[in-house]
């Protein structure tokens, strides 16, 4: 096959589509990349599930009496998450192994001797990494969040595990209104303060609502339960009392009710219902949730979600970083065994993720912006890959 490619030069680099069109060389190198990539995805995702979750699930089955069928269901639901992690790792392994093998067999040397540049040789790897980036993004948005949420729901239901972001108890929600001052400045003023002791997914229980008019407390509502009425776009409160407050802060009037509707905001219900962690939401859901966090002033969780949203956007492009670095290192004109390629891949991947963790932590504590916390590792990786490409192309 190598001789066929070489004999076709420089025709293999030209066709009706131009210099970067699909050529015989592209098809040959691309074909060499596909098989190890598919194998790598299967291997890495299987190892990830086995090492990262199988032991923990086994302990839950034995120690916490988690039903075996539910444990198997959780295991299957975790496969998409580990597959998403396996995609960029497989790009690194594939490019290093494939280009290392082509270099060891002198195939790349023959192509470069015919005038093919290093950047042109790694073009198929970059094309593959871009395609995998798109697949990773779609997979992370459409499959992984739903699967993770379902897995967590099973653990909460059968083992009563706590969920940091779920609002099942002590739901506290301040509702603000914007006030325009005579000088043109806009400020937020507290309008309602919403508190419920429990939430089961549909009903709020043991509620207390405080209502302000201007700067004065106007009303206190205490109710056994309440639920959002989607048909009438209002709240249904059951078995409670309403306390009217006079301007001097004394009780002006009190009366009870069995059922009463209140035209309050739906936001408290959405805030409790959407309480997932960032890995159980897609980007649109997470952005909507940040609006609620801004309204209640939860700066800690707000920054967490802002960083995670940016990381969701930047994560697929790790494939491009790994594809660039892996193909350039693999294409070096020297012998590289499979064990050496694998070891080098582990070192690069470990270094990259440690760097990403450290920089991401700086974003979570507010030392750098969420954008830089998510994208800086990619920028560094691309810079390193570009430098390696320049160095080896001119050596």
Instruction: Give the tens place of pLDDT for each residue, 25-53.
Output: 888 888 899 999 999 999 989 888 888 78
CA distance 175 to 166: 19
CA distance 64 to 312: 33
> Residue 362 corresponds to which tokens in the numbers above?
């700086």
CA distance 257 to 260: 7
* pLDDT, position 16: 42
- pLDDT tens digit sequence for 319-376: 999 999 999 888 877 666 667 777 888 888 899 999 999 999 999 998 999 999 999 9
Three-state SS annotation for the chain: CHHHHHHCCCHHHCCCCCCCCCCHHHHHHHHHHHHHHHHHHHHHHHHHHHHHHHHHHHHHHHHCCCCHHHHHHHHHHHHHHHHHHHHHHHHHHHHHHHHHHHHHCCHHHHHHHCCCCHHHHCHHHHHHHHHHHHHHHHHHHHCHHHHHHHHHHHHHHHHCCCCCCCCCEEEEEEEEEEEECCCCCEEEEEEEEEEEEEECCCEEEEEEEEEEECCEEEEEEEEEEEEEECCCCEEEEEEEEEEEECCCCCEEEEEEEEEEEECCCCHHHHHHHCCCCHHHCCHHHHHHHHHHHHHHCCHHHHHHHHHHHHHHHHHHHHHHHHHHHHHHHHCCCCCCCHHHHHHHHHHHHHHHHHHHHHHHHHHHCCCCCHHHHHHHHHHHHHHHHHHHHHHHHCC
- pLDDT tens digit sequence for 232-256: 889 999 999 998 888 777 777 888 9
Cα 118 to Cα 11, 74, 130, 230, 324: the distances in Å are 17, 45, 18, 61, 11
Average pLDDT for 263-270: 80
* pLDDT, position 8: 47
Q: Which has the minimum average pLDDT: 14-28, 79-93, 117-131?
A: 14-28
* pLDDT, position 334: 67
Residue 284 C-beta-side C-alpha neighbours within 13 Å: 3
CA distance 391 to 395: 6
> Residue 92 corresponds to which tokens in the numbers above?
């690194």
Longest dimension (CA), the chain: 97
Predicted confidence (pLDDT) at residue 4 exceeds the cutoff of 60: no
Q: At what angle do helices 24-49 and 68-104 cross, to 10 degrees?
A: 150
Its pTM stands at: 0.72
8 A C-beta contact, residue 90 and residue 323: no
Residue 254 neighbours by CB under 8 Å, 6+ apart: 241, 242, 243, 244
- pLDDT tens digit sequence for 139-198: 999 999 889 888 887 887 777 665 555 556 677 777 877 777 777 788 777 788 888 888
> Smallest Cα–Cα separation from 41: which of 319, 304, 373, 308?
319
CA distance 364 to 378: 18
> Residue 269 corresponds to which tokens in the numbers above?
């219900």
More confident residue, 217 or 1: 217
Average pLDDT for 75-88: 92
* pLDDT, position 308: 92
Predicted confidence (pLDDT) at residue 91 exceeds the cutoff of 50: yes
> Smallest Cα–Cα separation from 220: which of 253, 197, 265?
253
Residue 394 neighbours by CB under 8 Å, 6+ apart: none
């Amino acid at each position: 096959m190598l001789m066929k490619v070489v004999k076709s030069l420089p025709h293999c680099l030209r066709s009706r589509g131009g210099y970067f069109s699909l050529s015989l060389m592209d098809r040959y190198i691309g074909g060499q990349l596909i098989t190890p990539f598919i194998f790598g995805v299967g291997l890495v995702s299987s190892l990830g599930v086995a090492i990262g979750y199988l032991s923990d699930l086994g302990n839950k089955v034995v120690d916490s009496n988690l039903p075996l069928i539910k444990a198997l269901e959780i295991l299957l639901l975790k496969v998409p998450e580990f597959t998403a992690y396996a995609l960029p790792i497989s790009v690194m392994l594939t490019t290093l192994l494939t280009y290392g093998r082509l270099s060891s067999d002198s195939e790349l040397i023959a192509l470069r001797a015919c005038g093919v540049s290093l950047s042109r040789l790694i073009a198929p790897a970059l094309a593959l990494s871009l395609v995998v980036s798109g697949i990773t993004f779609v997979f992370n948005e459409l499959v992984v969040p739903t699967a993770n949420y379902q897995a967590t729901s099973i653990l909460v239901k059968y083992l009563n595990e706590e969920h940091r972001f779920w609002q099942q108890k002590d739901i506290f929600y301040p509702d603000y209104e914007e006030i325009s001052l005579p000088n043109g400045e806009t400020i937020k003023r507290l309008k309602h303060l919403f508190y419920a002791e429990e939430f089961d997914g549909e009903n709020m229980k043991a509620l207390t609502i405080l209502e302000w008019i201007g700067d004065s407390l106007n009303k206190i509502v205490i109710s056994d339960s309440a639920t959002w009425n989607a048909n009438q776009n209002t709240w249904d409160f059951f078995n409670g009392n309403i306390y009217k407050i006079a301007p001097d802060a004394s009780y002006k009037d009190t009366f009870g009710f069995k059922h009463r509707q209140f035209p309050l905001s739906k936001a408290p219900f959405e805030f409790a219902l959407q309480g997932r962690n960032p890995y159980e939401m897609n980007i649109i859901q997470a952005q909507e949730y940040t609006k609620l966090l801004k309204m209640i002033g939860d700066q800690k969780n707000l920054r967490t979600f802002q960083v995670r949203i940016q990381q969701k956007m930047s994560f697929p492009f790790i494939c491009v970083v790994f594809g660039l670095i892996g193909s350039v290192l693999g294409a070096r004109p020297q012998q590289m065994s499979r064990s050496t390629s694998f070891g080098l891949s582990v070192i690069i991947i470990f270094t990259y993720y440690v760097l990403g963790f450290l920089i991401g932590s700086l974003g979570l504590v507010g030392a750098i912006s969420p954008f830089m916390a998510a994208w800086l590792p990619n920028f560094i990786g691309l810079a390193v890959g570009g430098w390696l490409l320049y160095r080896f192309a001119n050596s």
